[in-house]
Amino acid sequence: MTQQDIFVKWLSYSLLLVVLALVNFFLLPAVPSLPLPLLLPSLAVAVGALEGSRAGAGFGIVAGVVLGCLAHRPPLCIPALSLAGWLSGLTTQYVLRRDLVGHTICALAVLLVWEGSALLGHLMGQTAPLQQLLRVAGPELLASLVFTFPVYGLAYFCCLHYGRMYHE
C-alpha cells in the first residue's frame, strides 16, 4: 500500500467523520419524532474494528474532539472514544471476528457504557428522576444501535475500497 493510498483512505475516513457529525448534530435533530442517536462513538468502534487497535485509538481521539466541540461535552469524551476505538480493535482482533457482528457487539458495549455513565451523571446531579431519565436514555440507545449498521457500512466501504493498513 503506497503512501498516497494510505492518505486517501484516511482522508475518506475523515470526510465520513465530518459528514456523520453534520448529520448527527444538524440534520437528525430536525426530525421531531426521532430520538437523537450517537453516531460518532459507533464510527470510532467501526474504525477500530476494521483497522486495528492503534488506528481505532487515534481515530477515537479525533472523533472525541469533534464530539466534544459539537455536543458541548466535557473533554472526557476524547479519551473515552479513544479507549472505545482501541478496545474494539483489540476485541475484534483477538476475541470476535472483524465483521458486522463483531462491530455490533462492540458498539452495543460502548453505547451501554456511554448511556449508563450519562444516566449515572444525571442521577448523581439529581437533575431528573430515574424513570424520566430512562424514558430518554432507552430510545436514544435504541436509535444509536439502529444507526450502527449504516455507520459500519460506510466505514466498511472506506476500508474495502482503499484497502486495510495491516494484513490479517
Q: Give the model confidence (pLDDT) of 102-143 as tens digits.
A: 999 999 999 999 999 888 888 888 888 888 888 888 999 999
Cell of 154: 460506510
pLDDT band of residue 17 (cuts 50, 70, 90) is very high
pLDDT, position 167: 43
pLDDT computed for residue 121 by the predictor: 85
Could you tell me which residue, 42 or 159, shows the higher pLDDT?
42
User: Which residues contact residue 101 at a Cβ distance below 8 angstroms, ignoring those fewer than 6 apart?
Assistant: none
Of 136, 14, 127, 18, the closest CA to residue 70 belongs to: 18
Q: Give the Å distances, CA to CA, from 167 to 4, 36, 93, 163.
A: 18, 37, 11, 10
d(CA 56, CA 99) in angstroms, rounded, equals 15
CA angle in degrees (0–180, nearest 5) for 119-121-127:
85
* 135-to-32, 36, 84, 141, 142 alpha-carbon distances in Å: 16, 13, 25, 11, 11
- Checking if the pLDDT of 164 tops 80, the result is no
Nearest to 43, CA basis, from 26, 27, 19: 19
**Residues 35-75: tens digit of each pLDDT:** 989 999 999 999 999 999 999 999 999 999 999 999 887 78
DSSP 8-state assignment for residue 165 = S
